Chain A
Amino acid sequence: MTATLDRRPETAAEPRSQQRSSIDWGPALVGAVRKLDPRGLVRQPVVFVVWVGSVFSTVLAITDPSLFGWLIAAWLWLTVLFANIAEAVAEGRGKAQAASLRKARTSTVAVLEDGTEVPAPDLKPGMRVVVVAGQVVPGDGDVVEGIASVDESAITGESAPVIRESGGDRSAVTGGTTVLSDRIVVQITSKPGETFVDRMIALVEGASRQRTPNEIALNILLSSLTIVFLLAVVTLQPLAIYSGAEQSMTVLIALVVCLIPTTIGALLSAIGIAGMDRLVQRNVLAMSGRAVEAAGDVNTLLLDKTGTITLGNRQAAEFVPVGDATQAEVTESAQLASLSDETPEGRSIVALAGLGERDTGGAEFVPFTAQTRMSGVDLPDGRQLRKGAAGAVQNWVRSLDGAVPPDVAAVVDRIAASGGTPLLLAEAGGEGTRVLGVIHLKDVVKPGMKERFDELRRMGIRTVMITGDNERTARAIAAEAGIDDVLAEATPEDKLALIVKEQDGGRLVAMTGDGTNDAPALAQADVGVAMNTGTSAAKEAGNMVDLDSDPTKLIEIVEIGKQLLITRGSLTTFSIANDLAKYFAILPAMFAGVFPGLDTLNVMRLASPESAILSAVIFNALIIVALVPLALRGVKYRASSASAMLRRNLLVYGVGGVVLPFVGIKLIDLLVSLIPGIA
């Protein structure tokens, strides 16, 4: 069973992300048409203005029919439709997953301890249900009796079963998962309709999506820009009349639609949904969009040492002889003392000694106990070998009147200072009772972590390692892994205090946790990622759940948060920058008739006033569709300093946003001018 618990999470995430990488346009189109209902559009002020413009221009096209009028009206409707498609595509991605989740939920019937049957949706917190092999767990809860292997693939996509047992940190079960063996009693903890699966369905469907603070702030800016441009166009008409260049309503509507930030306005909610979706693809469930945004802002990352920064187990790194013992003696004794030691540390000692198979006939192994704090072997030739904690082994040697060479203390100190754990190796009998040497057990930093932390530092994020080790050991590991700070000998209270202190300094804190005692800290942290293997309390307290239970994923979550914000900012810049070219297309078209000098502004040499205006409107609509994949995928994110990132994005989306529409509108104009009656 241990093997299945040590699964690599990446394998589970892969098939899901592949399945979702392409855009399913068909259903999205249906969804987009359905979204033409203005009641829903009011939430997106920019798109709503376009909708109003479409209605107006259609009425005008009917009352005063012309080819130009109809074309403008048609393209304005398409603009609204394209905006809706963006949102529908983003939402559509979660629908399939939601459907399979729903199946798991609806078909369950729960059996209470007294044998009565209750439909799963009617379960209330505190009820105790019995689940036996082959049955689906009817609701979220804690195992209060028994142990079972559970298939959680319905939720996590991971097919390897996990162990759930009463008590401890592995007691939580999720509704919708299947018990594969044995029998457990589960005490329900969730209210009807608020189970984990219910929340997941709502999340992946985007139904419970609330707009996040930053999205609201951006929407306010976009609304005020919309009002500015509305005013600029509305007030233009009296001046145009005075100048003898009165404009038709259709042209004015076209001008408004081209100027207001339709691109970002149309894509804004899709960007938000896609951000959540990218998390879901990595098997992370964010309980709110607010948390995803906060992830981009995180200043301080609290990381548990074990499992996140280092591999779970310490490994033997060297054997140091002390006194008059030789290297060969120490190596051989260390191996002998560990042959029957099945702990990972013991096996690593045997592996490091590398002396091959040994005949152990007649040897008597002494297992580790909490009392002796040593383990070892009694050999048939009367020699006794012991290894264990420095204090325990020294006491053992002294109690047998053996010698503790004076250099032991120095070696032990050196190893401890370097972040390792010293194990003393001693023998009794044979050539006398003495300490032979020191085994250097080392925490092994996961490969690639140093690079990741360097990356985080470039992003301006401080990393703090949380560990139960003493300060010195902790500092040494931190230095090796490239961690900025440590919280050594940490208790859950220390963790909470550290978070509060960081937050008082204006910093945002992210952490992972799984135990019940992590819950207060998870709740306090701005981004608290609970491991799915953790307790219900932890999952309840955090604002994200990692279904793979992989603590390193916190780093990816931060990157996704940043990417979300960058995508918003870049498309806003792009959208506003586009306006310049549109002015150069539309204004000469409107006024060059009266003021021929203004034709100088027609730098694109567009064919006719009608084709110029139409081309701008068409470009404005098509750019939305063209940018849907970018909005869903997110702007490319590379960890670098803020100024480097700003320079790059300004160049691509600012300067690009100025130049691209000049080219695009000109190309469209070349096509549009082929239409008889437009050129």
Chain B
Amino acid sequence: MSAGAGGWLQAGLLVLALVAVHRPLGDWMARVFTTDAVEGPKSRLWPRSGHWRVEKLVYRAVGVDADTEQRWPTYLRSVLAFSLVSVLFLYLLQRVQSVLPWSNGMAGVDSGSAWNTAVSFVTNTNWQGYSGESTMGHLVQMAGLAVQNFVSAAVGLAVAVALVRGFARTRTDRLGNSWVDLTRALTRVLLPMAVLGAIVLVLGGVVQNLSAGTDAMTLTGASQFIPGGPVASQEVIKQLGTNGGGFYNANSAHPFEGPSAWVSLFQVFLMLVIPFSLPRTFGRMVGDKRQGLAIVGVMATLATASLALNSWAQSRAGGAALQLAGAATEGQEVRFGGPLSALFGTATTLTSTGAVNSLHDSYTPAGGLLTMFNMMLGEVAPGGVGSGLYGMLVLAVIAVFVAGLMVGRTPEYLGKKLGRREMTLASLYVLTTPAIVLVGTAVAMATDAGRSSMLNDGPHGLSEVLYAFTSAGNNNGSAFAGLSANTPFYNTALGLAMAFGRFVPIVLVLALAGRLAQQGRTPATAGTLPTHQVLFVGLLSAVVLVVVGLTYFPVLSLGPLAEALS
């Protein structure tokens, strides 16, 4: 079997698995976030009623009234406060890890790196300026990083659900209770799935122990350090929560993180499963499953196109050696073949995961361009847990606005009028990430502090810096490599990019949700723009591509495009 055919087989398997799982999972999440506190009929298999006992304990411990719904500002304040506390806690934990147990003898992390890492994990970016096995002890890995892997994904889910409620509800100022949404996202979605996933990973050979590592003598007599650690438990949520922060520096290319081809493929599945199921949840909650199908259609269209292009770009690399090998091989996960690298690379940049099993820096320039472009889409195809859905819905608002005008009505999406306020919030959302990425890159390229970290010059060097800010601004977290990012400049700048790239959109999304929930609903008629048809799927895909393409065309032309066309 040729590598290409194998690649398509892998992709086919993946699609089948996602199609099979997205319905039950999407429906389940819809139920999780719509079941109110009132006790319903008991079931032995699934407790379907009100709050679970363990959740009640959490609410009591945190001291929140779980039965009162919040207005959008309160919802926002809760989410922001929770994230701020998370950043502070994670920062402190890293700084003082040397005096705490299970530090494996690691020193306290220096302040710049600690700030960067704290922001990185809380914002679901998981950009890693450090090398895992030589910086973080097991305690930080488990109580700090792994915990954030869970809760940062839960924050994304909560915000997405709040926006969906904005569409689903009418004439109310209540968006739900953020503490309930966060807790349920953990107890009913992420934790159960992570347990199942971790078991699969351990069966697949991913290590799971508390060993600080052992020195072993190899056959040739050399001494080799074999690291250990609770890898599987972290690996599963790294993918499931679209986090991407690896236990080891080599991330999923490390044999203990990605021991075999099928485990690698399973990891891709874990990255995609929640983001691809959320549109179903959305369709359920707004009472029209076709709407969810349209959204997932857009995500799938963009993802498929990106994967096809990336595979093509990798296979038509220049140079005699590469021609013989059939494809570019440098930096690829050669154990499992190029196609799985392309699949992994596409999935990790299309979701906000950022885990890698190959080095994007070494992709062909066109392949590197694509991984960058994937992130520039704003992480919407399918994007991060929660953030993918809310990003796509905001883009849908923009698309509906222009298309709605073209059918001669004040634009409305799901019966909600898109007026001045709605468009202000959506426009600012679309403006935020490009501003962060472009300004960040320009500042880095204009300063010595920025340029001195570059390991390459010419367009490739520029690509490395552009990639770093694109990754941080879009909360992806993958790195192009070729950039020494553990410097005060990059720790600070990328930290800021991650923080703004995460929380400014959340503010706008929740404000939009509040605004939408207050509206009534205009009933759909023959004159209403249909948002569940193929035409709309094509339109929204085109809007995403055009808006992103036009924004980044100039910078790309000086980086990867210049390289690809030379």
Contacts and interface: CB of A to CB of B under 8 A. Distances in A.
Tell me whether A and B are bound partners. Answer: yes
Interface of A: 213-214, 216-218, 220-221, 223-225, 227-229, 231-243, 245, 255, 259, 293-294, 296-297, 299, 457-462, 504-507, 561-563, 565-566, 568-570, 572-573, 576-577, 579-580, 583, 587, 591, 594-598, 600-601, 637, 641-643, 645-647, 649-650, 653-654
A231 B445 contact: no
B423 interface: yes
Nearest to B466: A239
B514 interface: no
A642 B526 contact: yes
Nearest to B521: A506
A570 B462 CA distance: 38
Contact of A296 (B398, B408, B561, B566): B408
Most buried by B among A242, A507, A643: A242
B340 to A, nearest CB: 30
A459 B526 contact: yes
Contact of B407 (A214, A598, A646): A646
Contacts of A579: 550
A595 B410 contact: no
Contact of A565 (B410, B439, B521, B528): B410
A583 B431 contact: no
A650 B550 contact: no
A232 B438 contact: yes
A570 B406 contact: yes
B526 A598 contact: no
Interface of B: 398, 401-410, 415, 418-420, 422-424, 427-428, 430-431, 434-435, 438-439, 441-443, 445-446, 451, 458-459, 462, 520-523, 525-530, 533, 535, 539, 542, 546, 549-555, 557-559, 561-562, 564-566
Contacts of A653: 406
A242 B451 contact: yes
B529 A642 contact: yes
A374 B410 CA distance: 54
Contacts of A233: 554
B562 A591 contact: yes
Given A224-B427, A224-B428, A650 B442 contact: no
A232 to B, nearest CB: 5
A637 B407 CA distance: 10
Contacts of B401: 217-218, 221
Contacts of A507: 522-523
A452 to B, nearest CB: 15
Contacts of B522: 299, 506-507
B550 A216 contact: no
Nearest to A507: B523
A65 to B, nearest CB: 28
Contact of A572 (B405, B438, B445, B530): B405
Given A220-B423, A243-B459, A460-B527, A598 B565 contact: yes
B427 A460 contact: no
B461 to A, nearest CB: 8
A591 B403 CA distance: 35
A296 B409 contact: yes
A220 B407 contact: no
Contact of A462 (B398, B402, B525, B528): B525
28 contacts: A220-B420, A220-B423, A220-B427, A221-B401, A221-B423, A228-B431, A232-B551, A233-B554, A236-B442, A237-B442, A239-B441, A243-B458, A243-B562, A294-B410, A299-B523, A461-B527, A462-B525, A562-B409, A566-B408, A569-B404, A569-B407, A570-B405, A580-B549, A598-B557, A641-B526, A641-B527, A642-B529, A654-B542
Nearest to B554: A236
Contacts of B549: 580
B419 A217 contact: yes
A146 to B, nearest CB: 47
Given A217-B419, A576-B546, A601-B557, A235 B439 contact: yes
B431 A227 contact: yes
B202 to A, nearest CB: 46
A600 B565 contact: yes
A601 B565 contact: yes
A224 B435 CA distance: 11
Contacts of B442: 234-239
Contacts of B407: 566, 569, 642, 645-646, 649
Sorted nearest first, the 4 A-B pairs with minimum C-beta distance are: A569-B405, A460-B527, A562-B408, A460-B525
A195 to B, nearest CB: 32
A543 B422 CA distance: 26
Most buried by A among B404, B458, B522, B558: B558
B565 A595 contact: yes
A334 B441 CA distance: 93
A601 B566 CA distance: 12
A231 B438 CA distance: 7
Given A562-B408, A573-B402, A461 B525 contact: yes
A296 B408 CA distance: 6
A235 B435 CA distance: 9
Contacts of A641: 526-527
B527 A459 contact: yes
A363 B75 CA distance: 89
A613 to B, nearest CB: 14
A235 B550 contact: no
A625 B403 CA distance: 24
A596 B552 contact: no
Contact of B554 (A232, A594, A637): A232
Given A224-B431, A232-B434, A239-B555, 15 more contacts: A217-B401, A217-B418, A217-B420, A232-B438, A232-B550, A232-B553, A239-B441, A255-B554, A259-B550, A459-B408, A460-B527, A506-B523, A570-B405, A595-B566, A643-B529
B430 A240 contact: no
Contact of B405 (A294, A565, A576, A587): A565
A499 B529 CA distance: 24
Nearest to A504: B520
Given A227-B431, A569-B403, A576 B408 contact: no
Nearest to A595: B562
A297 B410 contact: yes
Most buried by A among B431, B521, B525: B525
B427 A221 contact: yes
B525 A238 contact: no
Most buried by B among A229, A504, A642, A654: A642
A278 B402 CA distance: 23
Contacts of A217: 401, 418-420, 422-423
Contacts of B446: 238, 241-242
Nearest to B409: A297
Nearest to A236: B554
A587 B557 contact: yes
A566 B401 CA distance: 11
B241 to A, nearest CB: 30
Contacts of A569: 402-407
Most buried by B among A297, A505, A563: A297
A299 B520 CA distance: 15
B406 A573 contact: yes
A221 B558 CA distance: 28
A268 B405 CA distance: 13
Most buried by A among B406, B539, B565: B406
Contacts of B462: 239, 242-243
B445 A239 contact: yes
A505 B522 CA distance: 7
